[in-house]
C-alpha cells in the first residue's frame, strides 16, 4: 500500500513508529506536513498540492492532526476522502472528538458514564452552573484545550466563580465538571484499534498536579482493566466513529467515567508502559480495512 500521514513533525516518536511499522510490512509511507498542503476546491476532480506538486494517489491516509491546526487539517483530510483515499479516522469523527462539548453530548446520548458536566453562555448563571455540578471542587475546561492545557481545578466556590468569570471575560467557551476526588490524580488510557482495546495504561500526575497527562510530567504503567472499563472504551470509540483512539477514564465510586476520547493518541507512553506494538496493530488495521471510496461520509460532514 501507499500510505500518506498528515503530520507537522515527522520526528515525533509516534510518527516514526508508524512509518517503521508500515515499511517493515512492505508498505510505503510518506509523512506530509499538513500546513504545506493546498487544494483545488473548484475542480470537479479533487486535487491536493504539496510543496508545489500534485500529490499522487494514496491507498490510505493516517491523520495525525494537531489540535492547534484542527480546522485546516480536517479540510485537507476531507479532500483526501473526496479523492477516495481511505482514512484511518474520518474527518467527521475527528471533528466530533475535538469538540469537547459535542463529544460529551454524544457519549451521554449513548449512556456512557461521565462526570456531571455543565455548560452555559451567560456569566450570570455561574452560581447555577456550580450548583448543578455539585459545588466545588470542580474542574473547569476550555472546550478547545488539549494535553491538559486550559484545565483548571477550582477548590472553592469563590475560586470557581473567579475562574469562570475570567474565562467568560476573555470570550472563550468552557464547561464545568465535577471533580472525581477518589481517582486520586490517576486515570486510565485505553487504546482502541478496530473496535478492540489493544492496550491500557494507568497514568499518574506529577506531584501536586491533578492532571495525569504524560506531557505534563506524569508517569505511566501497564494495567489490567475491568470488563466494564473495556466495554466503556469500545462504546466510546464507536460513539465518536473512531477506528483508532485513546479513551481516558477515571475510576469513580459509581464506575468508570470518560474524560476524553483522543483521536490522535501518542504511542510512546503506552508502548513503553505495556511493551505492545501499537503501531503494528494500526498498520494491520489499515491492511484489513483500506478500500477506495470506503469512507462513510466522503468529506460531506
Q: How long, in residues, is the chain?
A: 301
pLDDT, residue 7, reads 97
CB atoms within 10 A of CB 15: 20
Q: Is the pLDDT of residue 257 over 70?
A: yes
Cell of 211: 492532571
CA distance 62 to 7: 9
Which helix (H) or strand (E) segment is 102 a member of? Answer: helix 100-109
Burial 220-246 (b: 16+ CB within 10 A, else e): beebebeeebbebbbbbbebbbbbbbb
Per-residue pLDDT of 82-115, as tens digits, reads: 999 999 999 999 999 998 889 999 999 999 999 9
Burial bucket for residue 91 (CB in 10 Å: 0-12, 13-18, 19+): buried
Which helix (H) or strand (E) segment is 177 a member of? Answer: strand 174-178
Per-residue pLDDT of 214-247, as tens digits, reads: 555 577 899 999 999 999 999 999 999 999 999 9
- Contact in structure between 268 and 219 (CB atoms under 8 Å): no
- Kindly state the average pLDDT of the residues 127-155: 79
- Contact in structure between 137 and 154 (CB atoms under 8 Å): yes
- Contact in structure between 3 and 27 (CB atoms under 8 Å): yes
pLDDT, residue 219, reads 76
Q: Is the pLDDT of residue 301 over 50?
A: no
CA distance 71 to 55: 21
Please enumerate in sequence order all residues whose Cβ is within 8 A of that of 189, keeping only pairs 6 or more positions apart, or say none.
Answer: 200, 201, 203, 220, 246, 247, 248, 249, 265, 269, 270
pLDDT, residue 250, reads 94
- Contact in structure between 135 and 129 (CB atoms under 8 Å): no
Q: Is the pLDDT of residue 124 over 70?
A: no
pLDDT, residue 119, reads 83
Confidence of residue 300 (pLDDT cuts 50, 70, 90): very low
pLDDT, residue 280, reads 98
Radius of gyration of the chain (CA): 20
CA distance 176 to 160: 9
Q: What is the pTM of this model?
A: 0.86
- Contact in structure between 96 and 241 (CB atoms under 8 Å): yes
User: Which residue ranges form the domains of the chain, and what is each CATH number?
Assistant: 2-89 (3.40.50.20), 96-113+182-284 (3.30.470.20), 117-179 (3.30.1490.20)
Angle between helices 100-109 and 91-98 (to 10 degrees): 100
Q: Which residues pair with 245 in a beta bridge?
A: 192
Please enumerate in sequence order all residues whose Cβ is within 8 A of that of 227, keeping only pairs 6 or more positions apart, or say none.
Answer: none
SS3 127: helix
Closest residue by Cα to residue 66 from 263, 258, 283, 272: 263
Amino acid at each position: 500500500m501507499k500510505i500518506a500521514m498528515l503530520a507537522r513533525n515527522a520526528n515525533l516518536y509516534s510518527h516514526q513508529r508508524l512509518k517503521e511499522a508500515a515499511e517493515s510490512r512492505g508498505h510505503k509511507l510518506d509523512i506530509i506536513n499538513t500546513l504545506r498542503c493546498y487544494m483545488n476546491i473548484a475542480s470537479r476532480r479533487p486535487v491536493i498540492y504539496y510543496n508545489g506538486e500534485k500529490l499522487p494517489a494514496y491507498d490510505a491516509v493516517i491523520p495525525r492532526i494537531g489540535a492547534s491546526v484542527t480546522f485546516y487539517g480536517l479540510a485537507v483530510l476531507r479532500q483526501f476522502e473526496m479523492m477516495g483515499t481511505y482514512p484511518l479516522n474520518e474527518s467527521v469523527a475527528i471533528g466530533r472528538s475535538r469538540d469537547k462539548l459535542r463529544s460529551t453530548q454524544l457519549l451521554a446520548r449513548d449512556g456512557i458514564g461521565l462526570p456531571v458536566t455543565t455548560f452555559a453562555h451567560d456569566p450570570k448563571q455561574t452560581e447555577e452552573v456550580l450548583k448543578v455540578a455539585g459545588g466545588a471542587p470542580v474542574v473547569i475546561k476550555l472546550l478547545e484545550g488539549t494535553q491538559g492545557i486550559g484545565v483548571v481545578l477550582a477548590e472553592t466556590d469563590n475560586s470557581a466563580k473567579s475562574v469562570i468569570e475570567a474565562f467568560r471575560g476573555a470570550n472563550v467557551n468552557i464547561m464545568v465538571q465535577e471533580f472525581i476526588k477518589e481517582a486520586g490524580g490517576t486515570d486510565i488510557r485505553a487504546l482502541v484499534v478496530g473496535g478492540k482495546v489493544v492496550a491500557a495504561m494507568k497514568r499518574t500526575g506529577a506531584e501536586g498536579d491533578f492532571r495525569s497527562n504524560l506531557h505534563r510530567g506524569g508517569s505511566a504503567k501497564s494495567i489490567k482493566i475491568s470488563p466494564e472499563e473495556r466495554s466503556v472504551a469500545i462504546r466510546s470509540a464507536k460513539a465518536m466513529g473512531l477506528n483508532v483512539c485513546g479513551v481516558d477514564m477515571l475510576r469513580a465510586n459509581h464506575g468508570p467515567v470518560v474524560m476524553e476520547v483522543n483521536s490522535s493518541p501518542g504511542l510512546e507512553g503506552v508502548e513503553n508502559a505495556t511493551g505492545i506494538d501499537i503501531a503494528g496493530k494500526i498498520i494491520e488495521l489499515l491492511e484489513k480495512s483500506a478500500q477506495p471510496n470506503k469512507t462513510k461520509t466522503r468529506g460531506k460532514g
